[in-house]
Chains A and B, each alone.
Chain A
Amino acid sequence: GAVVSQHPSWVICKSGTSVKIECRSLDFQATTMFWYRQFPKQSLMLMATSNEGSKATYEQGVEKDKFLINHASLTLSTLTVTSAHPEDSSFYICSATGAGSYLNTEAFFGQGTRLTVV
């Protein structure tokens, strides 16, 4: 199957700083990428959907100015958590879909990033 790589796998940052998380499709062109957040003992919640070259569409309740998403190429999307606070500590995971064959019927997930804000 298609491979999605997410980096870093974990990061600790100080409160008030910004953190960038990368999501790359390694062997296919990702026309759409999705960003999810998972709090402890809860399920994954969709934060936003991004299409290459377009502005991301954010879910209700997600601050677009705080969670900046860039999908500048067909193989890379980034999520930047700006002015991070301890309540932003969570597990962030991306998924991607592509065009053609099985790529547009199944989403492929990255390994996730554990963010801890201290």
Chain B
Amino acid sequence: KQEVTQIPAALSVPEGENLVLNCSFTDSAIYNLQWFRQDPGKGLTSLLLIQSSQREQTSGRLNASLDKSSGRSTLYIAASQPGDSATYLCAVSSNTGNQFYFGTGTSLTVIP
């Protein structure tokens, strides 16, 4: 069964710093990898979707990379802001459909 791990579990950085969140998965036979943001008590906001044939996606200050063969993805956040404080979830979908397996998340706090 697919297992998804995120490191670190929690991260606290001063405003303006660049940071990297890590995600690893055990089964490289994935269809998509998606990064989400979850604010406390709220649902999921999709940040970036990387299809298995792609190596990276960018949206504004966010850049996500995918190395499918090694089972790794990173989410790079440039020039962090207090509004970036949230839990970031990595999820991979099986190659049979859009059933997602989620990591445990990284709780990010950006200090003003």
Measuring CB to CB, which residues of chain A are less than 8 angstroms from any residue of chain B?
1, 6, 32, 34, 36, 42-46, 49, 91, 93, 95, 97, 104-112, 114
Contact = CB atoms under 8 A, between A and B. Distances in A.
A112 B44 CA distance: 8
A106 B97 contact: no
Contacts of A1: 46
Interface of B: 4, 31-32, 34, 36, 41-44, 46, 49, 51, 89, 91, 93, 97-105
B46 A112 contact: no
A106 B43 contact: no
B34 to A, nearest CB: 7
B43 A110 contact: yes
B32 A105 contact: yes
- 5 smallest beta-carbon distances between A and B, as pairs: A111-B43, A112-B43, A97-B98, A43-B102, A107-B98
Given A42-B104, A43-B103, A43-B104, A32 B98 contact: yes
Contact of B102 (A44, A106, A112): A44
Contacts of B42: 111-112
Nearest to B45: A109
Contacts of B97: 32, 49, 97
Given A6-B43, A93-B43, A93-B44, A43 B105 contact: yes
A46 B92 CA distance: 12
27 contacts: A34-B98, A34-B99, A34-B100, A36-B102, A43-B4, A43-B89, A43-B102, A43-B105, A44-B89, A44-B102, A46-B100, A46-B101, A49-B97, A91-B41, A95-B100, A97-B97, A105-B31, A105-B49, A105-B98, A106-B32, A106-B46, A107-B98, A108-B46, A109-B36, A109-B43, A109-B46, A112-B44
A107 B102 contact: no
A104 B99 CA distance: 11
